[in-house]
């Protein structure tokens, strides 16, 4: 368990930030007038989480273990997203669970995973081989 703090400190911080941001009441701003801004934020939050998971995994592991990466960078963030949406729907008065939010979260995860495999993996491998 302690190795997760050693190998994934940024990812754990992002997870904590997402949990916090998912349950606090955001202030009203002019950004709320932008269509689908909420969905864009969801894509960015979960895309950022999956990106940090990919980068930290690739830095600390010489070989890619597909089952671990799929579980850690895709399945776990998607499950966390689903849990948060259900908790928002059932346990809060100021937030609501939304299937479109869940879909936006999964879109961010998938986009970040594609970038992780196609972009970050070759770049990090190239730098670590030096």
Question: 36: alpha, beta or left, given left = phi > 0 and alpha = psi -120 to 50?
Answer: left
Q: Is the confidence at residue 33, as pLDDT, over 90?
A: no
Query: How confident is the model over 91-112, as pLDDT tens digits?
Result: 988 888 889 999 999 999 999 9
pTM over 0.85: yes
pLDDT for residue 130: 60
Tell me how crowded residue 82 is: count the other CB atoms within 10 A of its CB: 15
Long-range contacts of 94-98 (CB under 8 A, 24+ apart): 94/25, 95/22, 95/23, 95/25
In what helix (H) or strand (E) does residue 79 lie, and over which residues does it extend?
A: helix 76-91
């Amino acid at each position: 368990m302690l190795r997760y703090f050693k190998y994934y400190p940024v990812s754990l911080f992002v997870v904590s930030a997402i949990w916090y941001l998912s349950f606090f009441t955001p202030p009203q701003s002019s950004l709320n007038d932008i269509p689908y801004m909420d969905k864009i934020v969801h894509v960015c939050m979960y895309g950022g989480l999956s990106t940090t998971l990919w980068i930290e995994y690739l830095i600390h592991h010489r070989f890619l273990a597909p089952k671990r990466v799929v579980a850690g960078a895709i399945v776990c963030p998607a499950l966390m997203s689903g849990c948060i949406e259900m908790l928002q729907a059932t346990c809060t008065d100021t937030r609501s669970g939304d299937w479109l939010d869940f879909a936006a979260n999964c879109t961010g995860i998938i986009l970040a995973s594609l970038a992780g495999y196609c972009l970050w993996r070759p770049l990090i491998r190239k730098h670590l081989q030096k």
